[in-house]
Amino acid sequence: MPGKRAAHGELEVGKTSLALPRQRGEPLPVPLTPLIGRWQEPEALAALLQRSEVRLLTVTGQAGVGKTRLALQAAARLAADFPDGLALLPLAGIQDPTLLLPTIAAHFRLGNRNTQPLLEQLQTYFQDKQLLLVLDNFEQLLPAAPLLAEVLFFSPQVKVLVTSRVALRLRGEQLLVVPPLAVPDLAQDPTREELLQNPSVQLLLGYVQRVDSSYQLTDEQLLALAQISTRVAGIPLALELAAGWLQTLSPQALIMRLQQHCLALLTRGSTDLPKHQQSMRQTIAWSYQLLSSQGQHLFHYLAVFAGSCSFEALEDVALAMGCSEQQVLDGLASLIEAHIVERQELQNGQSYLVLPDLLREYGLEVLTSTGRLLQVQLAHARYYLHLVDRIMPFGLQSSSQPDRLAEISQAYDNVRMALFWLLEQPEKSEQILHTSEMALRLCTSLSGFWYMSGHLSEGRQFLARALERAATVSISTHIIALTTAAFLALFQDDYEQCVLLCQEGLLLAQKENRPALSASVLYCWSWAEANRGHLPEATRLGEQALQLNASVENQIGRALCLYSLGFLSSLQAEYPQAVFQLEESLALFRKLEDVSSQANVLLCLAESLFAAQEDLPRIQELLEESQALPVTLANTIYPTNYLVLLGELALSQGDVLRARQQFTECLAAMTRMGDKRKIAVLSVRQAEAELCEHNYTEVEALCSASLSYYLKSKGYAWAALPLEVLARSHAVRQQGRKAASLWGQAQALREQFHFPLSARERAIFAAAEAEARASVGSDTFLEAWREGYHSGCAMLEDLAPTTNLAFQSGCTPPQPILPDHLTRREVEVLRHLAQGLTRAQIAHKLIISPLTVQSHIRSIYRKVGVSTRSAITRYALEQNLL
Q: How many CA atoms lie within 13 A of 362 on its CB side?
A: 22
pLDDT bucket at 499, cuts 50 / 70 / 90: very high
More confident residue, 211 or 838: 838
Buried-exposed string 246-277: b where 16+ CB fall within 10 A, e elsewhere: beeeebeebbeebeeebbebbeebeeeebebb
What pLDDT, on a 0 to 100 scale, did the predictor assign at position 387?
93
pLDDT, one tens digit per residue, over 453-497 is 778 889 999 999 999 888 888 999 999 999 999 999 998 889 889
pLDDT bucket at 801, cuts 50 / 70 / 90: very low
**3-class DSSP assignment, residue 131:** coil
Buried-exposed string 29-41: b where 16+ CB fall within 10 A, e elsewhere: eeeeeebbbbeeb
| Amino acid making up residue 14 | G
Cβ atoms within 10 A of the Cβ of 359, count?
A: 27
pLDDT, one tens digit per residue, over 70-127 is 888 888 888 888 888 888 999 988 889 999 999 998 888 886 666 788 888 888 889 8
- Res. 385: pLDDT tops 80: yes
pLDDT, one tens digit per residue, over 175-195 is 989 888 889 988 888 888 889
- Res. 844: pLDDT tops 80: no
Percent over 70 (pLDDT), the chain: 87
Report the alpha-carbon distance of residue 184 to residue 802 in Å, rounded. Answer: 51
What pLDDT, on a 0 to 100 scale, did the predictor assign at position 4?
39
Is the CB of residue 679 less than 8 Å from the CB of residue 685? no
| Amino acid making up residue 70 | L
Q: Give ∠ CA 857-860-863 in degrees, rounded to 5.
A: 150
Helix (H) or strand (E) holding 135: strand 132-136
Q: Where are the alpha helices (DSSP H) in 425-514?
A: 432-453, 456-467, 475-491, 495-511
DSSP state of 32: S
What pLDDT, on a 0 to 100 scale, did the predictor assign at position 76?
86
**In 532-604, at which residue ranges do the beta strands (DSSP E only) sit?**
none
pLDDT, the chain, mean: 84
**3-class DSSP assignment, residue 90:** strand
Q: How many CA atoms lie within 13 A of 43 on its CB side?
A: 4
Averaged over 37-54, what is the pLDDT? 85
**Strands 56-60, 159-164: pairing kind:** parallel
Residues counted in the chain = 882
More confident residue, 363 or 400: 363
Averaged over 64-75, what is the pLDDT? 87
- Res. 704: pLDDT tops 90: yes
Is the CB of residue 159 less than 8 Å from the CB of residue 45? no
Report the alpha-carbon distance of residue 330 to residue 18 in Å, rounded. Answer: 36
Report the alpha-carbon distance of residue 655 to residue 641 in Å, rounded. Answer: 18
Helix (H) or strand (E) holding 671: helix 656-673
Cβ atoms within 10 A of the Cβ of 83, count?
A: 11
| Amino acid making up residue 718 | W
More confident residue, 671 or 574: 574
What pLDDT, on a 0 to 100 scale, did the predictor assign at position 250?
86
Averaged over 244-270, what is the pLDDT? 83
- Res. 440: pLDDT tops 70: yes
pLDDT, one tens digit per residue, over 144-174 is 999 999 988 888 899 999 999 889 989 989 9
pLDDT, one tens digit per residue, over 327-358 is 999 999 989 988 899 888 876 667 889 998 88
β-pair partners for 18:
11
| pTM recorded for the entire structure | 0.74
Q: Could you tell me how far CA 30 lies from the centroid of its own chain?
A: 49
- Which are the contacts of 358, defined by CB distance < 8 A and separation ≥ 6? 232, 233, 235, 238, 262, 263, 266, 280, 284
What pLDDT, on a 0 to 100 scale, did the predictor assign at position 881?
74
Whole-Å CA distances, 333 to 166, 288, 329, 727: 11, 14, 6, 72
Select from 840, 821, 842, 841 the least CA-distant residue to 830. Answer: 842
* Lowest mean per-residue pLDDT among 39-43, 55-59, 379-383, 660-664: 39-43
pLDDT bucket at 27, cuts 50 / 70 / 90: low
Report the alpha-carbon distance of residue 543 to residue 549 in Å, rounded. Answer: 10
**Strands 10-13, 4-6: pairing kind:** antiparallel
What pLDDT, on a 0 to 100 scale, did the predictor assign at position 803?
46
What pLDDT, on a 0 to 100 scale, did the predictor assign at position 38?
76
More confident residue, 144 or 3: 144
Helix (H) or strand (E) holding 17: strand 16-19
What pLDDT, on a 0 to 100 scale, did the predictor assign at position 271?
57
What pLDDT, on a 0 to 100 scale, did the predictor assign at position 765?
83
**3-class DSSP assignment, residue 538:** helix
pLDDT, one tens digit per residue, over 513-553 is 999 999 999 999 999 999 888 888 999 999 999 999 999 99
- Which are the contacts of 233, defined by CB distance < 8 A and separation ≥ 6? 180, 183, 356, 357, 358
- Res. 56: pLDDT tops 80: yes
